[in-house]
């Protein structure tokens, strides 16, 4: 007898195998996406540090008060700095007259905070912060 096609058992076996593969790969892909979003927020932090330093230098050249702070929760403060990329949902930046910059930025999308202290040169992804109220400058 000449059989054409697949039996129901063969089709079910293929579907089960595809389901197992999907269950294994989905968390890996989602983790990679979240890591890239965290890295993007960290890169935004570096951009904000650079923009804040430039803005502070401009203020000094104009003879204006060179110490300032910005609150990214307020829409007026968000446009002061010339920043490329997506702005954080909330955050705070402090710049001293000496040029030291501290920041804490929050992203609602990935529930992540990045911080930089005034004495540090690196923007760090905070792993212990669970809400934007806990995202503060140290």
The 10s digit of each residue's pLDDT in 31-77 is 999 999 999 999 999 999 998 888 888 888 888 877 888 888 776 67
> Closest by alpha carbon to 72, among 53, 56, 54, 52?
52
What pTM did the predictor assign? 0.79
Query: Regarding predicted confidence, which is higher, 133 or 72?
Result: 72
pLDDT of residue 131: 64
Cα–Cα distances in Å, from 99 out to 28, 56, 74, 115? 41, 7, 23, 17
pLDDT of residue 80: 80
Spatial distance between the Cα atoms of 64 and 59, rounded to a whole number of angstroms: 5
């Amino acid at each position: 007898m000449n059989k054409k096609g697949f039996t129901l058992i063969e089709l079910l076996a293929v579907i089960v195998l595809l389901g197992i593969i999907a269950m294994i790969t989905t968390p890996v892909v989602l983790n990679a996406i979240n890591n890239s979003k965290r890295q993007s927020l960290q890169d935004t932090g570096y951009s904000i540090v650079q923009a804040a330093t430039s803005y502070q230098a401009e203020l000094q050249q104009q003879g204006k008060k060179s110490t300032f702070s910005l609150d990214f929760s307020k829409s007026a403060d968000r446009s002061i700095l010339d920043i490329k990329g997506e702005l954080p949902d909330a955050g705070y930046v402090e710049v001293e007259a000496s040029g030291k910059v501290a920041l804490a930025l929050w992203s609602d999308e990935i529930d992540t905070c990045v911080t930089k202290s005034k004495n540090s040169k690196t923007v760090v992804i905070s792993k212990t912060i669970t809400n934007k109220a806990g995202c503060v400058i140290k």
